[in-house]
């Protein structure tokens, strides 16, 4: 088991380091589909009390607008499909956005 499991201070420390790494990666490559997905996924699953959710809407818009580019840049179709499935099931999309995602990517609704 990871050493941080029983130590909240270590969990926060790891979280802050990861948050900083994602922030730096996004600043270096703001048009990178995978990096933006990683930030979206992390922020959408981070507990709200940590206050790390400020980019969800921007990343969601970017990801939806760049699905074709994402499919071209993510080298493995299976991974890309898992990414778009996560986006669809994240609870962050409006009904219209979900329809766009399904139409653009032929995602099955589960």
What does DSSP assign to residue 46? Answer: S
pLDDT at residue 110 tops 60? no
CA of residue 103 relative to chain centroid, distance: 20
What does DSSP assign to residue 77? Answer: H
* Cα distance between the two ends of the chain: 32
pLDDT of 35? 97
List, for residues 59-109, the tens digit of each pLDDT value: 999 999 999 999 999 989 999 999 999 999 999 999 999 999 998 876 544
List, for residues 15-28, the tens digit of each pLDDT value: 999 999 999 999 99
Residue spans of the domains in the chain: they are 31-105
CA of residue 20 relative to chain centroid, distance: 15
User: Under a CB-based contact definition with an 8 Å cutoff, are residues 96 and 83 in contact?
Assistant: no
């Amino acid at each position: 088991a990871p050493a941080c499991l029983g130590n909240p201070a270590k969990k926060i420390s790891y979280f802050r380091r990861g948050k900083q790494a994602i922030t730096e990666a996004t600043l270096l490559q703001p048009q990178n589909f995978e990096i933006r997905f990683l930030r979206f996924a992390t922020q959408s699953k981070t507990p709200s009390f940590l206050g790390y959710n400020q980019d969800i809407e921007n990343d969601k818009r970017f990801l939806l607008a760049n699905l074709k580019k994402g499919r071209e840049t993510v080298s493995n179709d299976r991974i890309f499909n898992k990414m778009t499935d996560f986006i669809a099931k994240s609870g962050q999309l409006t009904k219209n956005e979900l329809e766009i995602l399904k139409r653009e990517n032929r995602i099955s609704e589960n």
